Structure 1
Amino acid sequence: MNRALTRTPAVTTPAPAASYDDLVARVLDGEFGPDPRTRHIAVAFSTRQAVRHEGRSGGYRNEVLSLRLDAAVGSCAVEPGALPDAAVEDCVGADIARLLQHPLRPVRVAALDAYLMEVLPHTPAHGARPWSLPAGSSLRKSRARARAVTGLLDTPPGTRVLVVGVVNSLLEALRTRGMSYVPCDLKGGTTEWGEAVRTDAPAELERCDAVLASGMTLGNGTFEPLRDHARRHGKPLVMFAQTGSAVLPRFLGSGVSAVCAEPYPFFWLDGGPGSIHRYRAQAPGAAR
């Protein structure tokens, strides 16, 4: 009996970006696809959320700006209340090139994410590998996502991980794997286990073996120092990305070692099953 062979599609992705500004310049030059001056945002919206998982002592809030470009949605998280209402209206009908030069960084990031989501969607042909999330409570889905994210850290127990953008489920998953961590977030505060959250990530880099960082670093301008440090010192840098889920894979092999990409709608919006997409940098010399 003949048996069909299942083959993994060849990965066809552009060369890694040298920096965020380099990526934007290449998009504006049309290197990735259609002229961004001809691609217009049809829908812009913001999503606001407050959550306290069952059994957890604290909660948090999220606010995300999202821009729709045909079937693609690009997103960038912002500090709750920081996004002017006029920003959403300003994006509707605007072309991508104009939004890539918008005075507000979250608008620029969401526009770049929308464009790259359209031209380089999360498919195996572009290096993505799907990871299923189960249906269930927000905590169950949060823990499942945390396992997917921390599983991209190819480091042994005892590794000291700088976590930029504190998510208690991620810290819990690192604890389960026997890794220590330094929690860091611009908001400060404490973790679920009473640990002080640092606020200056660059100051903690030298004493950590690996970095696990939120895509929110794109939106607040703190991504490049993390990427540059990881690139210069050969440290693993794993990004978990609701913000810029289509942007961050463009840095694989240029300081970023892996990405867990989670485009809109995010796991906390729906109790049903879902999926996220995992990327790893290819080994030097591997065929593309």
Structure 2
Amino acid sequence: MSAPTGTATAPAAREEAPERDCPDALVARVLAGELGPDPRTLRITMAFTTRQAVRHDGRRGGYRNEVLGLRLGSAVGSCAVEPGELPDGTADDCVGADVAGLLRHPLRPVAVAALDAYLMHTTPHTPENGAVPHALPAGSSLERSRARAVAVTDLLALPPGRTVLVVGVVNSLLEQLRSRGLRYVACDLKGGTTEWGEPVVTDALAELDRCDAVLASGMTLGNGTFEPLRAHALRTGKRLVMFAQTGSAVLPRFLGAGVSAVCAEPYPFFWLDGGPGVIHRYGSAEAAQ
């Protein structure tokens, strides 16, 4: 399989970055002012939650999303949460707070959104930082979901017959995997079934050994399940591809240290309107050949 167009490897300087050791080490470097301005001097000017309920035409089921957004200058950092998970007043607590304090916040989603905002501010999604833009067409919510699914699954670069652990069930991604002759294990903390009636498992780590690659949502950053996935990919050499609304500026920092590729989608997300948009892809599929 040839490598997809519109992907790139992050610059060499970032490949050697020590923050790739783990997410906690990345936070420590930000707090030390090693990756940009002192986060104690930067304040969040706006905090908000975005709530969505959707049922695409032709699909038998629907779902809900809730995302915490923190604005720092022109950048917005995001972290998805389970609907209703955030306490009332979380957004109010974040407004006017300095980034350093929010990086130490006891609620993990707040800390992740603050880290994402800081890195979006200091290292935006540009070609100089290793990102390659990928256009999403205008269209219905389902059309745009399917277009994003193509861009994400291209990064797997797997031949038919392989098995992918999908952490964070998105039916358009499963549909795209099926069309490519790829098997999958669907995993989501909510459980349930897929659009095709397949059971959704809830323990991703229990399924890793029987899968050839992992396709995971950035939401794993917010719920604490990212690091075990990254550690498994490091240990086994399996391909780990992240599709990231949560932590879109965070996950590219782990390219070459467990993460193989990232499809980064900063706010505003594809499901917020029907106009054309752009996502950003990091990492070359050639490594899978």
Q: What TM bracket, shorter-length normalisation?
A: over 0.9
Aligned twin of 1:231: 234
Alpha-carbon shift at residue 30 of structure 1 (Å):
1.0
Q: Is the 2:156–2:285 Cα contact (8 Å) retained in structure 1?
A: no
For 1:193, which of 193, 196, 204 is the aligned residue? 196
Aligned twin of 1:209: 212
Letter aligned with residue 173 of structure 1: Q
Aligned twin of 1:26: 29
Aligned twin of 1:4: none
Aligned twin of 1:145: 148
Aligned twin of 2:95: 92
Q: Which runs of structure 2 are paired with 1:65-214 in the superposition (5 Å)?
A: 65-214=68-217
Q: Distance in 2 between matches of 1:28 and 1:212?
A: 30
Alpha-carbon shift at residue 107 of structure 1 (Å):
0.1
Q: Is the 1:162–1:181 Cα contact (8 Å) retained in structure 2?
A: yes
- Cα deviations across residues 108-144 of structure 1 (Å, max 9, x unaligned)? 0000000000100000000000000000000000000
Aligned twin of 1:11: 11
Q: Is the 1:253–1:281 Cα contact (8 Å) retained in structure 2?
A: no
Aligned twin of 1:268: 271
Q: Distance in 2 between matches of 1:97 and 1:275?
A: 30
**Alignment partner of 1:61: what SS?**
strand
Aligned twin of 2:46: 43
Q: Is the 2:191–2:200 Cα contact (8 Å) retained in structure 1?
A: yes
Q: Distance in 2 between matches of 1:112 and 1:9?
A: 22
Q: Is the 2:138–2:274 Cα contact (8 Å) retained in structure 1?
A: yes
Q: Distance in 1 between matches of 2:76 and 2:109?
A: 14
**Alignment partner of 2:27: what SS?**
helix
Q: Distance in 2 between matches of 1:232 and 1:282?
A: 19
Aligned twin of 2:61: 58
Aligned twin of 1:3: none
Q: Distance in 1 between matches of 2:65 and 2:9?
A: 36
Aligned twin of 1:259: 262
Q: Is the 1:256–1:281 Cα contact (8 Å) retained in structure 2?
A: no
TM-score, scaled relative to structure 1: 0.93
Q: Distance in 2 between matches of 1:123 and 1:106?
A: 25
Q: Is the 2:10–2:282 Cα contact (8 Å) retained in structure 1?
A: no
Identify the structure with bigger relative contact order (alpha carbons < 8 Å, sequence gap 6+): 2
Q: Distance in 1 between matches of 2:34 and 2:284?
A: 21
Letter aligned with residue 177 of structure 1: R
- Cα deviations across residues 228-261 of structure 1 (Å, max 9, x unaligned)? 0001100000000000000000000010000000
Aligned twin of 2:3: none
Root-mean-square deviation (CA), in Å?
1.6
Change (3 A) 1:193 1:151: same
Q: Distance in 1 between matches of 2:103 and 2:53?
A: 29
Q: Which runs of 4+ in 1 moved over 2 A?
A: 8-14, 281-284
Alpha-carbon shift at residue 283 of structure 1 (Å):
8.2
Change (3 A) 1:251 1:181: same
Q: Distance in 2 between matches of 1:235 and 1:12?
A: 21
Gaps of 5+ in 1: 1-7
Change (3 A) 1:164 1:282: closer
Alpha-carbon shift at residue 11 of structure 1 (Å):
3.3
Alpha-carbon shift at residue 12 of structure 1 (Å):
6.6
Q: Distance in 1 between matches of 2:51 and 2:13?
A: 33
**Alignment partner of 2:249: what SS?**
coil
Change (3 A) 1:130 1:32: same
Q: Is the 1:9–1:124 Cα contact (8 Å) retained in structure 2?
A: no
- Cα deviations across residues 63-116 of structure 1 (Å, max 9, x unaligned)? 000000000000000000111121100100001100000010000000000000
Q: Distance in 1 between matches of 2:264 and 2:10?
A: 20
Aligned residues: 277
Letter aligned with residue 212 of structure 1: L
Change (3 A) 1:95 1:281: farther
Q: Distance in 2 between matches of 1:263 and 1:279?
A: 13
Q: Is the 1:11–1:124 Cα contact (8 Å) retained in structure 2?
A: no
